[in-house]
Structure 1
């Protein structure tokens, strides 16, 4: 799947960036594992804390306070900010709660929000994945690739 995405981007001469929280750079790592990725991927950002999301990619403090750091609203601002600061055509953001602790009734462990900025539009989805921490993180990366494939029409 990641190979198809990199090939698509190579053919279209497009660039992609990532803005990750709970996945800690896993998405970027998967992209750069594909030969030729250096032609489509210049940089990625790990914004693990709320403060980093605000400082690095410009997520508003008000959005975090109103919706929570694990929200589609924050994922949207992460993606938009990543595209803006990197100049990439596409930005994929992931924010979530991989656990094993910290969950609430409204945001249980396994909640992940993914944002994709493409062609001036922002797409977001909220998922709840089961399993242990590493499984949740891997599931988030897989789902981000699936979302991206669908949005790009691959």
Structure 2
């Protein structure tokens, strides 16, 4: 079940960015979501891929399930974790983080993984657009605060 305002103390209760970071903003949660985007996976698979301590992985998986980002289902003798619709909806955020990392976290020419479509073509750079389709930036938008 997704968290609501009454469920917890939020860093900034009226800010969608702050709430999102409260839910999935730590290193391991985002990497779990990233890996789950490749399909259902088990605790053992996450642990092998991420190299995270068992107690941390267990905590993050529980929190992601509790907040409606992952769900569990039986698969033989173990459970697998899969993204819910809310979890799948994080795809754009994961791609935005990946593309930022490609631009700013690697030296020129330093090798890194690439995100490609099913035909093997690189995914186009994400750019926010206004209602009319024109690009928007931090300089051309503003946040309307709730009073």
Which structure has the bigger radius of gyration?
2
Relative contact order, higher structure (CA 8 A, sep 6+): 1
Q: Which has the higher helix share?
A: 1
- With the length of structure 2 as denominator, give the TM-score of the two structures: 0.25
Q: Which has the higher strand share?
A: 1
